[in-house]
């Protein structure tokens, strides 16, 4: 077992993990952060996307030990203290940017990352920016609209 110190959604944790523990399994099974989901288990779908030290990562493709000393933000850490939604969450809600909803946590994290890098993306740039996230319902139209709406709010 290896000791790690991580801050997740603003709370500091000191835990023992096996080195082979994936970050997504640490988040879900040790911390109960089940808002972050496992989609494909092959690093393709992006459903497990979280922020690690301010950058989006696929948490199924990061070991928990690699996050030692780092700061993780999951979908569960976005809303404000009174439940006020993050602007990207709000935009997904208002634009009905989900069908089954399974890709949604990862999509929201990917769109937040995109808008941090490029606050006014074109439609093509949005589609490129979420290329690491797959929606098996193929509901991309409204996801792109939500990203455009969120960009409008933020700019």
Least Å from the CB of residue 12 to other proteins:
20
Q: Is residue 60 a contact residue for other proteins (CB under 8 A)?
A: yes
Transcribe the chain into DSSP letters: -EEEEEEETTEEEEEEE-TT-BHHHIIIIIS--TTS----SSS-S-TTEEEETTEEEEGGGSBGGGGTT-EEE-GGGSS-TT-PPPHHHHHHHHTT--SS-TTHHHHHHHHHHHHHH-SS--HHHHHHHTTT---TT--HHHHHHHHHHHHHHH-
Least Å from the CB of residue 124 to other proteins:
13
Q: Is residue 16 a contact residue for other proteins (CB under 8 A)?
A: no
Q: Is residue 141 a contact residue for other proteins (CB under 8 A)?
A: no
Based on CB atoms, which residue is closest to other proteins, 44 or 90?
Answer: 44
Q: Is residue 129 a contact residue for other proteins (CB under 8 A)?
A: yes
Least Å from the CB of residue 81 to other proteins:
28
Binding segment toward other proteins, per CB under 8 A, in 5-13, 15-23, 83-91, 139-147: 15-23
């Amino acid at each position: 077992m290896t000791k790690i110190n991580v801050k997740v959604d603003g709370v500091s944790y000191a835990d023992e993990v096996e080195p082979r523990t994936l970050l997504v399994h640490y988040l879900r099974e040790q911390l109960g952060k089940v808002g972050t989901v496992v989609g494909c288990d092959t690093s393709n779908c992006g459903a497990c996307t979280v922020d690690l030290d301010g950058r989006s990562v696929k948490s199924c493709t990061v070991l928990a030990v690699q996050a030692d000393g780092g700061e993780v933000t999951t979908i569960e850490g976005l809303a404000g203290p009174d439940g006020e939604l993050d602007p990207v969450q709000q935009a997904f809600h208002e634009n009905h940017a989900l069908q089954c909803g399974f890709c949604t946590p990862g999509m929201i994290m990917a769109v937040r990352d995109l808008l941090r890098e490029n606050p006014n993306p074109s439609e093509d740039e949005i589609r490129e920016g979420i290329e690491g996230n797959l929606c098996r319902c193929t509901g991309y139209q409204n996801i792109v609209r939500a990203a455009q709406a969120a960009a409008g709010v933020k700019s």
